[in-house]
Amino acid sequence: MSELYERTACELVDLVKNGETSWGEVADAQFRRIAAVEDRVKAFMTVTEDAGRAAAQRADAGGDPFNPLSGVPGALKDNMCTRGILTTCSSKILHNWVPPYDATVTEKLMATGMVLVGKTNMDEFAMGSSTENSGFFTTRNPWDLNRVPGGSSGGSAAAVAAGEAVYALGSDTGGSIRQPAAFCGIVGMKPTYGRVSRFGLVAFGSSLDQIGPLTKDMRDCALVMNAIVGHDPNDATSVPMEAPDFTESLREDVRGLRIGRPKEYFPEEGIEPAVRDAVETALASLADLGAEIVEVSLPHTEYALPVYYLIAPSEASSNLARYDGVRHGYRTPGDVDMIEMYLKTRDEGFGAEVKRRIMLGTYALSAGYYDAYYRKAQQVRTLIARDFERAWEKVDLLLTPSTPTVAFPIGERADDPLAMYLNDIFTIPTNLAGLPALSLPCGFSPEGLPVGLQLIGKAFDEETLFRVGYTYERSTEWHRARPTLPP
């Protein structure tokens, strides 16, 4: 592995420090890689080459020598506001929207000296698991261009896996960081709800959304987490709490840790054998490394999907009411009265999945149905959170598959929303409970597609996830595998 675009952030920092390359050369290699493969991968909504190269020059001119991400090329999902740069959420209704302000995560990464390479494609408004719901085009999985990269942060995951960005941010409402990370063979972390500011993240399900890193390995994940966490007075749900230095948790030591294996996440049916085998093997190797594996049960797991598909659409139907063609984004052309303008703008601007969610949510919140659906879902959400609380009496973290299958072929589930929703069965409960979780590579299927395992932690205990994830990663070579995508 010798190409600059294949390197991790940490490796690049060492190369630059030793005078073997410069951030200008790194940016050069990065944009050349994008030019070479992007027409096949289609990870980006917008490529920001001029701004990226200018930032690389600043990094070479001194940058912030103490910042470990200064000069490193990264990408942002297109639902994170970037001042002066298109932020479309991959929706026709925002196709021309240029935000007048930066999201807090954008501001924080810019302050590290980030070389922004672009804004990544996603399922429209982050609703989906494959990027097939993008209002513009489908991103392809770099491991097999006929398969989906996962979603909704599919562009971010594909960009990192294909060497088009060293790291990227995604957002995760029900699995949208972890599922594409698993499908693309990289690391993806959803932090604890409240750990990372949502200010400037276009809202989908506000009680579930959380921003997190997609990276090539655990060390880079810790660096990006360090850069984006922290209290933000602009986000009332961000927690006023000092964040630790996550790189200090990168210790190869799992002795004495109790890892829970929730039996509901290893069902007899509905999971690919290759996925189950890889995850069981990972459990066994962690046991060899000194962890104790404990069987646990999370009995309300089966209700997580129906609960999520009431709560997330309810919040979405409220959040998306603002797109009415009046202030920004798309407005239907022609001479129509106001009501007609609202109706046509929304009809023409939103895609089918977004409309389905708005209808579901509006129904669940409507008078007469609110108690039966929305309130009931909130009550069951509490039961799901309590399942985890009980598990923490016995174990320090949980280990599960990230997804029931490896990346599926483009088109296979596009017309079957239920089959698509089922993909998130292992990731959704943690969003409902607000807990931190990460996906990291743990093997390959017989077709050569990556498999991911998920670690779930106690609230605000990302440190244990870093410790266990790092120890496991160091005992394998999975994270070094790169897809062959000839330039």
Residues labelled as active-site residues: 77, 152, 176
Ramachandran region, residue 76 (left: φ > 0; alpha: ψ -120 to 50; beta: rest): beta
Q: Which amino acid is at 296?
A: V
311 lies in the binding site for ligand GLN (CB under 6 A) = no
Between 38 and 78, whose beta carbon lies closer to ligand GLN? Answer: 78
Q: Would you give the distance in Å from CA 228 to the centre of its chain?
A: 14
Q: Which of 312, 377, 399, 485 binds ligand GLN (CB under 6 A)?
A: 312
Which residues, including other chains, have CB under 8 Å from residue 447's CB and lie 6 or more apart? 144, 406
472: nearest Cα among 213, 296, 293, 228: 293
* Cβ at position 172, least distance to ligand GLN in Å: 5
User: Does position 138 bind ligand GLN by CB under 6 A?
Assistant: no
In angstroms, what is the minimal distance from the CB of 304 to ligand GLN?
Answer: 12
Question: Applying CB under 6 A, does 91 fall inside the site for ligand GLN?
Answer: no
Of the candidates 52, 44, 50, the one whose C-alpha atom is nearest the C-alpha of residue 26 is 52
Q: Minimal CB distance to ligand GLN: which residue?
A: 176
Which span sits near ligand GLN by CB under 6 A: 12-20, 25-33, 174-182, 388-396?
174-182
Task: Sketch the per residue contact string, 203 through 232, with ligand GLN: x for CB under 6 A, - otherwise.
Answer: -x----------------------------
* One residue of 88, 104, 141, 176 binding ligand GLN per CB under 6 A: 176
Comparing CB distances to ligand GLN, the nearer of 77 and 108 is 77
Query: Is 99 or 170 the residue whose CB approaches ligand GLN more closely?
Result: 170
180 touching ligand GLN, by CB under 6 A? no
In the complex with ligand GLN, the residue whose CB is nearer, 152 or 156, is 152
Q: Nearer Cβ to ligand GLN, position 175 or 194?
A: 175
Q: Does 152 bind ligand GLN (CB under 6 A)?
A: yes
Measured distance CA(270)–CA(101) in Å, rounded:
44
| 248: number of Cβ within 10 Å | 12
For residue 318, the tally of other CB atoms under 10 A from its CB is 16
The 10 Å Cβ neighbour count of residue 45 is 25
Give the H/E segment covering residue 187: strand 187-190
Q: How many angstroms separate the CA atoms of 487 and 145, rounded? A: 14
**And the tokens for 24?**
């200008």
CA atoms of 154 and 44, how far apart (whole Å): 10
**Should residue 354 be labelled a site residue for ligand GLN when binding is judged by CB under 6 A?**
no
The contact set with ligand GLN (CB under 6 A) reads 126-129, 152, 172-176, 204, 312, 424
